[in-house]
Structure 1
Amino acid sequence: MVNLAPAPTIVWFREDFRIADNMALLEAEKRGQPTLCIVILDDAHLPGAAARWWLHGAIRSLDETLRGMGGALHVFRGAARAVLAEIVRKTGAGAVFWNRRYDPAGREADTAIKADLRARGLTVRSFPGALLHEPWSVCTRSVAPYKIFTAFWRAACALPAPFPPHPAPERLVFAPPPPMPDSLITRHEQDGLLPRHPDWAGGLRDMWSPGEEEAGDQLSDFLRHDGAGYATARDFPGDEATSRLSPFLRFGHVSPAQVWHAATRKACPDKFLMELGWRDFAWSLLFFNPDLATRNLRPEFDAMPWRHDPGGLAAWQRGQTGYPLVDAGMRELWHTGWMHNRVRMVAASFLVKHLLIDWREGERWFADTLVDHDPASNPMNWQWNAGTGVDAAPYFRVMNPILQSRKFDPHGVYIRRWVPELAHLSDDAIHAPWESGATHPYPAPIVDHRAARERALAAWKMI
């Protein structure tokens, strides 16, 4: 019997959980065939624990949106190459579309899958959408990547502005799901992405609601209330003046182009737009340095005498270092899956320089606990802080967590929120509680600042 059913177009969602400004979905609509929207949970490409929690919410939110349009988001589990081949076989699909990813493992997998499907006669297309400019488009005249952000950003700004965001498809005709084996079909509550025993995600649920509509609301609220003062207020964690868009960008609920054009319409400060550029810079570094998370980009740091200090690492992870600003940040991270940008720098500097612990230990911890973790920004920022990467802060610049606390949280608003055992101390005493003489259950510093600084500088001079 001849199969007269139309050959559907598969749209494979990975890190682009939105329907607006989604080129893969828009081009599927233009093709004029029924669309099958899918996600494949491949254990080889799943993020850390906190980001997996977000991924679960992203899938549910997009599924609800598509169901409101008469379709659904069909979720499968297994090795993406094999699962996608089976879906194609069962549906007779004529095309597969996706939006590009730029991490080494994702690029390698996509290249192999594209070759497989094209060899079978399918139309396979990939599209940009995760960055303002794709990594290979911002290079030096010798087609080399930039190693200094200011030069990178100057070159990026000389390129044409990002295209205006595309609207959501006006009309989609959806294909029915394929008859797949039960072992490959994933139900939302059994997808293995949520923590079970124990369920530690209560703080994440209180703080975040993944989804495209929520991303739009977050962007609008930021531009309406905080955008104008962003350049200065962003450094003060007690003010909550940052955009908090990072997890929404990480999972593609909003595109960089959407953020860019919304911000420029509101005359948002250049500093905010530069943060989108810093994100692009990170992806450029990862694109040209696939081992960014494991190798010092400055090889002289291969000789750095890092300390093996499980106790110090655990105290840092738990927010029990005795330095209130550091501990407030680490507790915020544990509770919400996010940390204020200024405090991230102070906490990272403390691990690498006060404790002299390898930056890769911190990178791995953030990878598992950040809802906004991505494989480019996280290692680049750790290498920047450790002095081991390109355009890095010099290693001899050791942040003083007490001075940082007094400067950027002068009234202890942020510290009181996350270190409540110090809430009764005065604005002056809260930054160095061991000097106050007051009784409290807060731990003493696990290392003396001056001694730690001298130890870090001595280790640096050795290399």
Structure 2
Amino acid sequence: MTGPSIVWLRDDLRLADNPALRAAVDRGEPLLVLFVLDEESPGMRPLGGAARWWLHHSLASLDERLRDRGAALVLRLGPAERVVAETVTDAGAGAVFWNRRYGGPERAIDTALKASLRDRGIEVRSFAASVLFEPWTVTTGAGTPFSVYTPFWRACLAGPAPRTPLAEPRHVSGATDAVASDDLDAWGLLPRNPDWAGGLRDAWEPGELAARRRLREFLDDDLAGYDRSRDEPAAGATSLLSPRLRWGELSPHTVWRETLAGGHGGAFLSELGWREFAWHTLYRFPDLATDNLRPEFDAFPWPPLDEAALTAWRRGRTGVPLVDAGMRELWTTGFMHNRVRMVTASFLIKNLLVDWRLGEQWYWDTLVDADAASNPFNWQWVAGSGADAAPYFRVFNPELQAKKFDPDRRYIGEWAPEHVSENPPEPIVDLGETRKAALAAYEHVKQAARATKGPA
């Protein structure tokens, strides 16, 4: 069927290594690049505040880049299945291209839309773009999904190598005049009253060009020392690529290939592998943000919620130096060092005995890189309820973690300076006593699991 092509972008806000965009350009018809903000379809999770801020600026940057090449970005709001179908009608489109998604609600939308459009005679094609290895391509010898990271990643590396990234198109023949577009500012993605995003503006520059610069800086300046310094929050050794990958300003294939070309990357590439493992887990367990992956943890005896303790944790006012520093870095910049993320999560779950889902929701709202896979996956890992989980009895001691990874207290001094003063605040809980309570709760889970299984 003739007519313009529609490229429906989602978490792939880039021109380089974008298979859907490349296919649309190669089709030879004028094309329309569409982004739909869908927070209404069943199961679609509304974005958190920090993510909305990033999305606004990434979309603005993408629109500018498209205009430089002869097209523009069309923005529409509403349930994606309906909105995309309407856009096809409005544009008289003959084909729709997109890059695949792996969450349950997203797959349901895409499957239904693909069927309905093809019934109308519209060409529809989808592509692999957001993960290195698609979930159904990596399985155990028995054909089942992996539940432990090390054999999973070994199987990934033993298979075909990730594909070579695609070059970005130099010219995009736009068909934007065919349809109306929403005004980005009218979506209200940016905070206004109050405007709490000053720290985000100071810390980040969203968009594909900034993402490429950051990748180059990391590979040139930081990758060689990554293995040695990545766990030190004051060292500045982390890649800072996670929000770029979350929004698809960089593809994992680009990061993979350019890292290998630099001659380093063992530990760093394994972090890409952990991201892959999270997406593979979400694919087979779409309720990852709400349900324990290991059902025996449904018996965990969470006590009544201590609202004051939860508020203290959110605000970085627990009296525990590394926890407070991390939570304030998060609130200010929309980011937290990965080692500190584990410590703060462990403290909430295992010292305050607060359900991991409440912590996951806070990170979802405050992290610029929170995505549907990694955010709940990592919370469940710390809780002990997820895939390849850290055992519940492994409780991160935030004081020992600080001594090991922030020995000169530079990170703590930057984000929680009262803890390096003569009169630091007292912790809101006793770390030793709360650890004992956590272990007792874990024992309850084990006993409940044994009772369920019955005698051998």
**Shift, 1:309, TM fit:** 1.3
In structure 2, distance between residues paired with 1:148 and 1:43: 32
Secondary structure at 1:43 match in 2: coil
Q: Choose from 371, 374, 377 the match for 1:377.
A: 374
1:40-439 aligned within 5 A:
40-44=36-40, 45=44, 46-180=46-180, 185-307=181-303, 308-423=305-420, 425=421, 438-439=422-423
Q: Deviations over 1:13-37 (max 9, x none)?
A: 1100100100001001110000101
Deviation at 1:162, TM superposition (A): 0.8
Stretch of structure 1 that moved more, 42-51 or 83-92: 42-51
C-alpha distance in 2 between matches for 1:210 and 1:294: 29
Preserved contact between residue 12 and residue 96 of structure 1 (Cα < 8 Å): yes
CA distance in 1, matches of 2:293, 2:81: 32
> Residue 445 of structure 1 corresponds to which residue in structure 2?
427
* Aligned residues of 2:418 and 2:425 also touching (Cα < 8 A): no
Note if contact 2:22-2:168 (Cα within 8 Å) is conserved in structure 1: yes
User: Aligned partners of 1:104, 1:48: CA distance in 2, in Å?
Assistant: 19
Q: Distance in 2 between matches of 1:176 and 1:200?
A: 34
Range with bigger deviation, 264-273 or 279-288: 264-273
1:390 and 1:421 map into 2 onto residues whose CA distance is 37
Equivalent AA in structure 2 for residue 352 of structure 1: I
Give 1:6 shift: 6.1
Q: How far, CA to CA, are the matches of 1:116 and 1:56 in structure 2?
A: 30
2:437 maps to amino acid: R
Tell me if the contact between 2:6 and 2:31 (Cα under 8 Å) persists in the aligned partners. yes
Q: Deviations over 1:39-58 (max 9, x none)?
A: 11112344211111111111
Q: In 2, distance between residues paired with 1:397 and 1:40?
A: 42
Identity between Structure 1 and Structure 2 (%)? 55
Paired with 1:9 and 1:198, the residues of 2 have a C-alpha distance of 41
Contact 1:353 1:456 in 2 (8 A): yes
Are the aligned partners of 1:74 and 1:177 in contact in 2 as well (CA < 8 Å)? no
Matched residue SS, 2:245: helix
Aligned partners of 1:288 and 1:6: how far apart in 2? Answer: 37
**Which amino acid is the alignment partner of residue 418 of structure 1?**
W
Unaligned runs of 5+ in 1: 426-437
Query: How much does 1:224 deviate?
Result: 0.7
For the 8 Å contact 1:235–1:408, the answer to whether it is kept is: yes
Shift of 1:176: 2.8
2:70–2:171 Cα contact (<8 Å) kept: no
Structure 2 counterpart of 1:329, one-letter code: G
Quote the RMSD (CA, aligned, Å).
Answer: 1.3
Q: How much does 1:190 deviate?
A: 1.5
Q: Is the 8 A contact 2:234 2:411 kept in 1?
A: yes
> Within 2, Cα distance between the matches of 1:171 and 1:251?
23
User: Residue 282 of structure 1 contacts residue 380 of structure 1 at CA under 8 Å; is this kept in 2?
Assistant: yes
Q: Secondary structure at the match of 2:234?
A: helix
Deviation of the 1:283 alpha carbon: 0.5
Q: 2:5–2:31: 8 Å Cα contact kept in structure 1?
A: yes
Does the Cα contact within 8 Å between 1:36 and 1:177 map onto a contact in 2? no
Matched, 1:459 2:441: yes
Q: How far 1:420 sits from its partner (Å)? A: 2.5
The runs of 4+ residues in structure 1 deviating greater than 4 Å are: none
Q: Distance in 2 between matches of 1:163 and 1:234?
A: 27
1:386 to partner: Cα distance: 0.7
Contact between 1:16 and 1:99, CA under 8 Å: does it hold in 2? Answer: yes
Quote the offset at 1:291 in angstroms: 1.1
TM superposition shift of 1:232: 2.0
Give the Å deviation of 1:170: 3.0
Contact persistence 1:363–1:379 (CA under 8 A): yes
2:5 is aligned to 9
Aligned residue pair count: 440
Q: Secondary structure at the match of 1:166?
A: coil
Normalised by the length of structure 2, the TM-score is: 0.94
Distance of aligned partners of 1:153 and 1:33 in 2 relative to their CA distance in 1, 3 Å threshold: same
Q: Distance in 1 between matches of 2:11 and 2:285?
A: 21
Shift of residue 110 of structure 1? 0.6
**Which residue does 1:433 correspond to in 2?**
none
Q: Which residue identity lines up with residue 212 of structure 2 in the other structure?
A: G
Give the secondary-structure state (helix, strand or coil) at the position aligned to 2:74: strand
Unaligned residue ranges in structure 2 (runs of 5+): 446-456
Distance 2:265 2:22 in 1: 31
Q: Distance in 2 between matches of 1:268 and 1:306?
A: 44
Letter in 2 for 1:346: V
Task: Please give the per-residue CA displacement for 1:372-429, whole angstroms capped at 9, x wherever unaligned.
Answer: 0011111111111011112111111111110100110001110111112345x4xxxx
Deviation at 1:8, TM superposition (A): 0.3
**2-structure distance, mates of 1:259, 1:21:** 11
Using the TM superposition, give the Cα deviation of residue 90 of structure 1 relative to its aligned residue in structure 2, in angstroms: 1.5
Instruction: Tell me, in whole angstroms, the C-alpha distance in 1 between the residues paired with 2:2 and 2:72.
Output: 18
